[in-house]
A = this chain, B = another copy of it.
Amino acid sequence: MPDLRRDPVVGRWVIISTDRSGRPHDFTQLLPSRPISTALCPFCPGQERLTPKEIMAYRPQPSEANAPNWSVRVVPNKFPALQVEGELGREGLGLYDRMNGIGAHEVIIETPGHKDGLGDLPAQKIEDVLWAYRDRILDLKKDPRFRYILIFKNHGASAGATLEHSHSQLIALPIIPTSVSGEIEGCRAHYQQKERCIYCDIIRQDLTDGDRIVAENPEFVCVTPFAPRFPFEMWVLPKQHAGYFEEGQKGQFEFLASMLSEVLRRMDKVLARPPYNFVLHSSPPHEHTGDFYHWHLEIIPKLTQVAGFEWGTGFYINPVSPEESAKFLRDTRL
């Protein structure tokens, strides 16, 4: 059983998942990892037996589960960081706090095509991936043990992907990760002072300033944030205030898919198909934060190796201004 442990100073929870571990010399060899790209890719059609049994799949025609003819397929992670069965078992150990590593860890296989990146897919196929995110969130929200549902994507070996075939991941957690709780507190403080959502204010400011806009459509805007941690960092936000990604409607997901398609293609063009991460930031399911928290998607190309000490300090040096990044991304011809 994995362990969830809380840092007593800063309150950050970490998963200690030793089932995925080995001896120390295993770690010394981890660093130059490469995605597995074999004829036996477990995410390719026809190899469904290589994954745990599917949780759901979209199939254009009704067809058998765990067999080909799907367009999006969701399976449990074969090496889960958390375990779905069991009690939380919260306890104190002297000064410290721990609980069992209860949670869900799923993989969203975005396309049957082994070589397609998410940005290579037609917008309609990207929309299917977004519906899969939504369906899984709505299902997992019913479980009161889960305080947060994290959707993220590691693309490329240096962004942490261990398999080449395009996929996203979902982790349902009994705690709220610090990135989200920090944002929620910031939003709450702004709302208490001004009765406005700060992300709505950011959208207004950025549309007025204009020089950090990467792309815009009737429902969504993509900006490079004013104080980005990383070169070419991008945020995609719904223009109308919305706290919960999973409450998006058909028309919105269409526009989100076309926005995502556009900005991923712009990024691929300007940065020569970089490794990247994206993380969906949405309201925690059981908190009443929808009035002041505004869901969004953060996209971070993994470009620089300068991030050595940033991990230890939370302090970032970014060699590209967001205005310059946005201009490159906006001006490139698709």
Whether B318 pairs with A8 at a CB distance below 8 angstroms is no
Q: Which of A15, A150, A319 has the most CB of B within 10 A?
A: A319
Give the contacting residue for A186; candidates B10, B157, B159, B169; CB below 8 A: B10
Given A9-B199, A24-B271, A96-B205, A14–B81 Cβ distance below 8 Å? no
Whether B272 pairs with A8 at a CB distance below 8 angstroms is no
Interface 1/0 per residue, A268-290 and B, CB below 8 Å: 00111011011100000000000
The reply on A334 being an interface residue by CB < 8 A is no
Residue of B nearest to A320 (CB): B21
Q: How far is the CA of A321 from the CA of B4 in the complex (A)?
A: 11
Q: Which residues on the B side are within 8 Å of A298 (C-beta)?
A: 312
The reply on A306 being an interface residue by CB < 8 A is yes
Q: Which residues on the B side are within 8 Å of A190 (C-beta)?
A: 8-9
> 8 Å CB contacts to B: which residues of A3-35?
3, 5-18, 20-22, 24-25, 27-28, 30-31, 33
Whether B28 pairs with A272 at a CB distance below 8 angstroms is yes
Copies of this protein, total: 2
> 8 Å CB contacts to B: which residues of A182-211?
182-183, 186-187, 190, 198-199, 201-202, 205, 208-209
Give the contacting residue for A277; candidates B11, B94, B153, B308; CB below 8 A: B308
Q: How far is the CA of A5 from the CA of B212 in the complex (A)?
A: 14
Whether A177 pairs with B313 at a CB distance below 8 angstroms is yes
The reply on A303 being an interface residue by CB < 8 A is yes
Chain A residues in contact with chain B, CB under 8 A? 3, 5-18, 20-22, 24-25, 27-28, 30-31, 33, 81, 94-96, 150, 152-154, 157-161, 169, 173, 177-180, 182-183, 186-187, 190, 198-199, 201-202, 205, 208-209, 225-232, 270-272, 274-275, 277-279, 298, 300-309, 311-322, 324, 328
Give me 12 A-to-B residue pairs in the complex whose CB atoms sit less than 8 angstroms apart, sorted by A's number.
Answer: A7-B225, A8-B190, A8-B227, A16-B320, A18-B320, A27-B232, A30-B304, A31-B304, A31-B305, A94-B205, A154-B308, A279-B313
Other 19 A-B pairs with CB < 8 A, given A12-B229, A21-B320: A5-B227, A9-B186, A11-B186, A15-B317, A15-B318, A21-B319, A24-B232, A28-B274, A31-B275, A31-B305, A95-B202, A95-B205, A150-B315, A152-B309, A154-B308, A160-B305, A179-B315, A279-B309, A298-B312
